[in-house]
Amino acid sequence: GAGVSQTPSNKVTEKGKYVELRCDPISGHTALYWYRQSLGQGPEFLIYFQGTGAADDSGLPNDRFFAVRPEGSVSTLKIQRTERGDSAVYLCASSLTPAGVDTGELFFGEGSRLTVL
Amino acid sequence: RKEVEQDPGPFNVPEGATVAFNCTYSNSASQSFFWYRQDCRKEPKLLMSVYSSGNEDGRFTAQLNRASQYISLLIRDSKLSDSATYLCVVNGAAGNKLTFGGGTRVLVKP
């Protein structure tokens, strides 16, 4: 497809389980971002990739959260030992280049809604 | 203090009226500013960039006040379809990420 694709769209899991969320960015976009959005809040920055490397992971809340982008395209956000407080919509966005940040052109996927019971 | 703060609203606006709201940011070194729009249960989408001299895009006008560290959005002749959450976005201290405010909810009513 032409846009950012995220799977799964919905994920229900039990506390303590491991979860993977996938993001397929727009073809050719080198920059990829993960955000987390709780109900009634704005998106909260988690991590930013430029190519294969994590250029800024300052938003990851703790070491249970990890993200990879091994070939510079698809990214996976991994959450270990999930907690109820991890419940949120996880948004992925891509931009053509890091300069895309300065132009505000982040293209978001529809998000993965995670519910931890 | 949050990096980017917004009045959550909701702003209840009669159709055809004008509504304006602000967003404050804490990092005086920020260089880039934007408004994004987010419809209910949808992803955010870029509405417009905010330039130092202020800028218009149809019925939407954005202003930047660096001295007081706030940006504003004004919507003229509101339409029912303008009902959404408007997210103020500022580039962060590191320059590589965009920091979002909590959003201002606007409800346009007939």
Closest CA to A107 of B4, B41, B98: B98
Pick from A44, A104, A111: CB nearest B89: A104
β B11-14/A112-116 pair status = unpaired
- pLDDT at A96 exceeding the cut of 60: yes
Mean pLDDT along residues A86-112: 85
pLDDT exceeds 60 at position B7: yes
Separation of alpha carbons A107 and A4, rounded Å:
7
Place of tokens 């954005």: B62
pLDDT at residue B60 is higher than 90: yes
Kindly state whether A108 is in contact with chain B, defined as any CB-CB distance less than 8 angstroms.
yes
| Unique residue bearing structure tokens 């280049």 | A97
The pLDDT score that the predictor gives to residue B93 is: 58
Mutation choice for A interface testing from B97, B100, B105 by most A CBs within 10 A: B97
Q: Identify the pLDDT of residue A98.
A: 67
Whole-number pLDDT of residue B91: 84
pLDDT of residue A105: 84
Say what the pLDDT of residue A45 is: 93
Report d(CA A45, CA A84) in Å as an integer. 19
Kindly indicate the confidence band of residue A101, based on its pLDDT and cuts at 50, 70 and 90.
Answer: low
Q: How confident is the model at residue B11 (pLDDT cuts 50, 70, 90)?
A: very high
pLDDT interval class at B29 (50, 70, 90): confident
Report chain A residues whose CB lies below 8 A from the CB of B73.
none
Residue in A closest to B35 by C-alpha: A104
Interface size between A and B, measured as CB pairs under 8 A:
64
Q: Cα torsion for A102, A7, A17, B42, to the nearest 10°?
A: 60
Contact B49 A109 (CB under 8 A): no
Q: Which residue among B45, B97, B101 sits closest to A42, beta carbon to beta carbon?
A: B101
Give A15→chain B minimum CA distance, Å. 24
Structure tokens at B71: 């940006």
Name the phi and psi angles at B70, rounded to 5: -145, 155
The sign of the torsion formed by the CA atoms of B9, B110, A43, B60 equals negative
| Pairwise CA distance, residues B105 & A36, whole Å | 19
pLDDT in tens, A36-95: 999 999 999 999 998 898 888 999 999 999 999 999 999 999 999 999 999 999 999 998
Confidence (pLDDT) at B94 = 59
Note whether B43 contacts A45, CB cutoff 8 Å.
no
Under the banding of pLDDT at 50, 70 and 90, the label for residue B32 is confident
What integer pLDDT is reported at residue A7 of this predicted model? 98
Query: Are A92 and A32 a contacting pair, CB within 8 Å?
Result: yes
Q: Do B87 and A42 touch (CB under 8 A)?
A: yes
The predicted structure's pLDDT at residue A104: 64
Q: What is the predicted pLDDT for the residue at A68?
A: 97
A98 touches chain B (CB under 8 A): yes
Judged by CB atoms closer than 8 Å, whether chains meet at A45 and B99 is answered as yes
Q: How confident is the model at residue B98 (pLDDT cuts 50, 70, 90)?
A: confident
